[in-house]
Structure 1
Amino acid sequence: MAITLRQIRYFVATAEVGQISQAALHLNISQSAVTSAIKELEGTLAVQLFSRSPQGMSLTDSGRHFLNHAYTVLRSVDDALNIPHADSDTIGSLSLAASYTVQGYFLPFHLQRLSQWYPNIQIELFEQERADIEQSLVDNRFDMAVVLTANLTHPEIASETLFNSERRLWLPSHHPLSRNTNLSLADIATEPFIMLTVDEAHQSAMRYWEQSGHSPNVILRTTSVESVRSMVANGLGISILSDLVYRPWSLEGRRIETRSLDEVHPMSVGLAWRRDKAFTPAMHGIREYFRQAFVAPQLNTVRR
């Protein structure tokens, strides 16, 4: 029996979240479909990819080895399906700003693809805080920016959200709360909480905490996502962060699990520019690339 992309995608989703129920939720399919796909994959490979326990699914040595190959397969398929039709006619330069989270966890892949789509557009990249980015857009020092659009405040800035990245509860593997599928902020209010502060994450967090009528038990405020990841994985606390920055393993090789929280709003990523700015061909090109990469697939999904 041949291995299918469906099996690989379901395997990767389960490996990343460590729970079939959570993988099914992320994939918007039934748990039985995920279970069947993994059993079929294990049967074809003749190896056990996961160790099953009441706490979830843990990769075996064979599973960890196969995960690296699975990522390579999915990246190759994605690249093949998105081979760009290079537009050599669009010529120009563009100054593009990005906030820390966007630059570190989102933009590099798309910069590489933009160089393929538009080989004659020269992009000068800057990383700054949101307030500085907004003022520089207003002052025409930057042409465009890729930012967290919900944080924008300046009335002269226009924006277009490309996608929403869910914020979820991060837990160390086998944490008692991981046994619960329906969690609220009230359930985690007394837990030691690690608060990320970069890109105004703490301000966004306090908005949904205040709306819930509860407060987090903050034991550390940090600008480092990797610090949050390591502290959570080592059982020193919990946190709430976006799927954009989620990775299932800490630098020490310890696992992080996630759970959804209905009261928490997603993180919105998109483009921003000065409202009255005349778009150059390079700006049109950048906007068209991101629309094709994010907005068009969403519209096609809605139509189906």
Structure 2
Amino acid sequence: MLNFRHVKYFIATANLGQVSRAARELSISQSAITSAIKELEAEVGGRLFVRTAQGMELTDTGRRFLAASHRIMASVEEALHPADTAAEVAGSLSIGASYTVLGYFLPQHLERLERRYPNLRIHIHELTREMIEDNLITGRLDMAVVLTSNISNPELTTETLIGSQRRLWVPAGHRLLELDSVGLQDVAEHPYIMLTVDEAAHWTTRYWSASPFRPNVRLRTSSIEAVRSTVANGQGVTILSDMVYRPWSLEGKRIETIIMRERVPAMDVGLAWRQGVELTPAMRLFRTHFSEVYQTPQSRMPR
């Protein structure tokens, strides 16, 4: 029977990508996590992970269950903190967010925070990474929700909440779906659609540069929907994260995903604030909300 412990172990494994890392984070045995995942898979009626040399890769079923698991954790969080206590929390926060985070990650959390803390005023500012870093350092922003994998400013502290796996996107019926294993060499043989928003092109270039192959770029665009439609219509392939993946284009055409043979870095999402700043009660509340939902935050000082 599904219980809170199962969900907690599943989220930790999905976020960290390895049973061993999840076990260390939760201070339990690997066998406890493995058993919990097997029980969950039996309840769900399908595999949640594919076990690879790199670790635990979410299946399509696993991705859907992960989204549901975060909603479960948010509900548990609200149940453990009665509304009458939450209503006493008041204050104002100025939060920065990048394009991808604001479009695909943050809205559901803003709704929950507003419902739980009616006297907390959160002001959201969509900015580029450079502008977010500058505004955090100068104090014009209290905190930011960002792609932490893009942050390298030594004056900022970041806390990664999730690592969104990057996969190959192809249209339904594409011949790469017939292969037992797909690598960058295979992808290089097909037109590539390059997303440019939020420095996506920079990260794409980095992991391609580590290989002897190069993408055959047909189109560069800052629009995720343009990438989705172009791929779905058979005009190319791309490698993007699960966070922005949707199985259907605006025209109603199917997009499939493939786990890459090579290790492609995840897109890390989390919080950022100025190093050494004393967190206000409102800032601590904002940070606690995410740590409770995602279970395994990882604080670090950018290199």
TM-score range, shorter chain: 0.7 to 0.9
The SS at the match of 2:210 is helix
Counterpart for residue 294 of structure 2: 294
Identity %: 49
Find the aligned partners of 2:271 and 2:78 in 1 and give their Cα distance: 23
Find the aligned partners of 2:293 and 2:75 in 1 and give their Cα distance: 14
Counterpart code for 2:185: A
Counterpart code for 2:249: S
How many matched pairs? Answer: 239
Find the aligned partners of 1:148 and 1:219 in 2 and give their Cα distance: 26
Contact 1:106/1:244 (<8 A) preserved = yes
Contact 1:88/1:118 (<8 A) preserved = yes
The SS at the match of 2:295 is helix
Counterpart code for 1:97: G
How far the C-alpha of 1:121 sits from its partner, in A, is 1.3
Counterpart for residue 241 of structure 1: 240
- Give a deviation string over 1:53-77, Cα, whole Å, max 9, x none: xxxxxxxxxxxxxxxxx99xx6997
Confirm or deny that 1:265 pairs with 2:280. Answer: no
Find the aligned partners of 1:209 and 1:136 in 2 and give their Cα distance: 32
Find the aligned partners of 1:223 and 1:280 in 2 and give their Cα distance: 36
Find the aligned partners of 1:231 and 1:285 in 2 and give their Cα distance: 41
Find the aligned partners of 2:291 and 2:206 in 1 and give their Cα distance: 29
Find the aligned partners of 1:93 and 1:77 in 2 and give their Cα distance: 25
Counterpart for residue 210 of structure 2: 211
Find the aligned partners of 1:76 and 1:153 in 2 and give their Cα distance: 28
How far the C-alpha of 1:276 sits from its partner, in A, is 1.9
- Give a deviation string over 1:193-239, Cα, whole Å, max 9, x none: 00000000000111100012211000100000000000000000000
Counterpart for residue 119 of structure 1: 118
- Give a deviation string over 1:225-258, Cα, whole Å, max 9, x none: 0000000000000000000000000000100000
Contact 1:194/1:239 (<8 A) preserved = yes
Counterpart code for 2:155: E
Find the aligned partners of 1:235 and 1:242 in 2 and give their Cα distance: 19
Contact 1:209/1:216 (<8 A) preserved = yes
> Aligned ranges for residues 221-240 of structure 1 at < 5 Å?
221-240=220-239
> Aligned ranges for residues 148-159 of structure 1 at < 5 Å?
148-159=147-158
Find the aligned partners of 1:200 and 1:76 in 2 and give their Cα distance: 27
Counterpart for residue 109 of structure 1: 108
Counterpart for residue 88 of structure 1: 87
| 1:288/1:76 CA distance change after superposition, 3 Å | closer
Counterpart code for 2:267: M
Structure 1: stretches of 5+ with no match in the other structure:
6-27, 39-69, 299-304
Confirm or deny that 1:282 pairs with 2:247. Answer: no
Counterpart code for 1:152: I
Find the aligned partners of 1:272 and 1:95 in 2 and give their Cα distance: 12
Q: How big is the alpha-carbon RMSD for the aligned residues of Structure 1 and Structure 2? A: 2.8
| 1:77/1:157 CA distance change after superposition, 3 Å | closer
> Aligned ranges for residues 39-188 of structure 1 at < 5 Å?
78=72, 81-84=76-79, 85=81, 86=83, 87-188=86-187
Find the aligned partners of 1:224 and 1:173 in 2 and give their Cα distance: 21
Find the aligned partners of 2:291 and 2:70 in 1 and give their Cα distance: 22
- Give a deviation string over 1:68-102, Cα, whole Å, max 9, x none: xx99xx69973754544232232210000100000
Q: Which has the larger radius of gyration?
A: 1
TM-score, normalised relative to structure 2: 0.72
| 1:130/1:167 CA distance change after superposition, 3 Å | same
